[in-house]
Amino acid sequence: MSSVVVVGTQWGDEGKGKIVDLLTHYADYVVRFQGGNNAGHTLVVEGKKYVFHIIPSGILYEDKKCMIGNGVVIDPAVLLQEIKELEGKGLHVTPDRLMISERAHLIMPYHARLDYEKEAALSKNNKIGTTGRGIGPCYVDKVGRTGIKAGDLLDDSLFRNKLTAAVEETNFLLTKKFNTAPLDLEEIYETFQMYKESLSPFLGGVSEELDRARRRDQNILFEGAQGTQLDIDHGTYPYVTSSNTIAGNACNGSGFGPAHIDSVIGILKAYTTRVGSGPFPTELFDDAGEQLQVKGHEFGATTGRRRRCGWLDGIVANDSVRLNGLTGLAITKLDVLSGHETIKMATSYELEGKTIAAMPSNINQVAGVSPVYESIAGWREEIDNVTDYDELPVQAKSYIKRIEDFTGIGANIVSVGPDRAQTMLLKNPFDK
C-alpha cells in the first residue's frame, strides 16, 4: 500500500482538487483532513464543471471511499446541499461512499454570526479577509473545549446541554457587545434534529477505518485545503486560515499514524495568486498581472473574489518544501504563462539591506520585503492541447527544470488546463 498527502504550496487555489481527482484513480480511500467550506476545489471532467467545498473530490469515482476527518469543521447545511447538488448531476453520495468522522466539529449558526459581526467591527486596515462562514469561531470553540462534535448529535442530552450553553454565551455577546438581535435556541435545536436524521448514517470512526485499510494494503490519498502560507502556525499570520494546512496535519486531522505516510505532493501554480488581505511580495500591478488574472480565470471558487496575481515566488515554494517534507511537485496552470516573452521567478528577498531566503515571521517584515527576480525565457505557443511532456516548448521545459533545480524537488505532474485530460503524469507517487 501507499499513503500520499496532497497539499497546496502557496496561498491556496493551486489546483489541488484537480490533482486529487487525477490521483484518486490509483487510490482506494480519499481523505479530507482540515478546513471547512471555506475551501473550493474546482474540477472539469469531460466539459462538466464540479465545485467541492467539503466532500473530497474523489467522490467522482464511484468505486472509491471518501472520508471527512476529525480535523475538518462541517456546516451541515452546506454539506447536505453539496450532496443534493451532486445527486442532481447523477452522483449518488451514500454511506457506502462517504464517511464522516464522529470527532469532526460542527459549524453552528452562532459561529457564522460571530464571524460576520467580528469582521464587520474591524477597521478596513485590520480586516483578516475571512470568508464569513464561521470557520474561525468553530475552531476557537474546539480549542476552547466548548465545541460540538458531529457524534454529539447522536446523544440528545449532550447535544442539548452544549447547544444551550453556547447560544446563551453567544446571545450575551450579540446583545451586549454588538448590539444585534439574539439567536433562537429552539429554532437551532429543531434544525439540527433534521440534520441528525440525514447525517447519522454517514458518521463513523474514520481513524479506525483508515487503519483497517492500511492493514489490507490499500492506497490512501489525503486531501488538504488552502495552502502552506495560510497555515495558522507557519503562514503569513494573522492573514491565514484557522487550521494547520501543512502535510503533518494529515495525520492529526484523520487519526492516521505519521510513520505510514509514504510521499507528499505539493501543488505549485506556475505563478502565484492570493485572495483577500495580507502581504504578497511578488504581486503584479501591471499588464502582466492583468494578463495572468484574465487568462487564468482567477476568481475564488468559494468566494468569487478576484485573485491577486504575481510571478512565481521561489521563497514561498522552498518554505513549502521544508514545512511539508515534499517528495514531488505538481505544477499547474503552466498554460497560463503562454504568450509571455519573459517569465520571472523570485529567488530571494531583500529586507533592510539584507538578503533573506525564507518568509519572515514578522508580518510587518513580510510587507516590507522586496523580491529579487530571475528572468527566464518565455514561450509564445499555446500548450493546452499538449499531452506528451516531450512536446512542450523547450522554454516551458526549461522553466520546469529551473523550478526543480531551485526547490530540489522533481515535477511528478504537469497540468496545462482545467480538464482532467489536460494533465501529464510523469511519476506516479503511488508507485513505490
Q: Catalytic positions, please?
A: 13, 41
Residue partners of 11: CB distance under 8 A and separation at least 6 = 226, 227, 229, 230, 236, 272, 273, 274, 275, 278, 280
**Residue at 225: amino acid letter:** A
Distance of alpha carbon 47 from its chain centroid, rounded? 23
Q: What distances in angstroms separate CA 232 from CA 23, 38, 141, 262, 366, one per listed residue?
A: 27, 14, 16, 24, 16
Q: 271, exposed or middle or buried, with CB in 10 Å at 0-12, 13-18, 19+?
A: buried
Task: Give CA–CA dist 130/137, Å, rounded.
Answer: 11
Look up cell 492583468; give the residue: 290
- Per the structure block, which three cell numbers stand in for 271? 505563478
Here the cell at position 322 is 521544508
Count of C-beta atoms within a 10 Å radius of residue 126: 10
- Label each residue of 160-212 as H, E or C: HHHHHHHHHHHHHHHHHCCCCCCCCHHHHHHHHHHHHHHHHHHEECHHHHHHH
C-alpha cell at 64: 472509491
Distance (Å, rounded) from C-alpha 300 to C-alpha 305?
5
